[in-house]
Amino acid sequence: GAGVSQSPRYKVAKRGQDVALRCDPISGHVSLFWYQQALGQGPEFLTYFQNEAQLDKSGLPSDRFFAERPEGSVSTLKIQRTQQEDSAVYLCASSRDSQYEQYFGPGTRLTVT
């Protein structure tokens, strides 16, 4: 079936604006992960859902970051009052269960000006 999709692919925000990034996981995948990838770095874990439950949000860098997955499928990562240091690629991944083999989406490149 279709892979993980993310939208928008590119987002430019002025500092202080709120943004919402969407992730459509592979159908039937229980687990969903969000990562932040800074330029020249590997992905860093932000948060994890199993179905609609957010089981781990230890990687969220501040309380300006919020994620939800209300029906256990599509997920949204929201960043309030964006700052320049939020500029990065935000990757979403899903898996059949929590035991690894994650499938990644193409990412959303966020640029905060």
Name which of 27 and 100 has its Cβ closer to other proteins: 100
Q: CA-based angle 24:25:29, to the nearest 5?
A: 150
Phi and psi angles of residue 24, each rounded to the nearest 5 degrees, phi first: -110, 110
List, as one string, the DSSP characters of 1-12.
----EEE-SEEE
Site for other proteins in 22-61 (CB under 8 A): 31, 40-45, 48, 56, 59
Stretch that binds other proteins, among 14-22, 70-78, 79-87, 90-98 (CB under 8 A): 90-98
Regarding 111 and contact with other proteins (CB under 8 A), the answer is no
Nearest in space to 70 (alpha carbons), one of 57, 52, 54: 52
Can you read off the two tokens belonging to residue 68? 């939800």
The least distance separating other proteins from the CB of residue 81, rounded to whole angstroms, comes to 27
List interacting residues with other proteins (CB under 8 A). 4, 31, 40-45, 48, 56, 59, 91, 93, 98-107
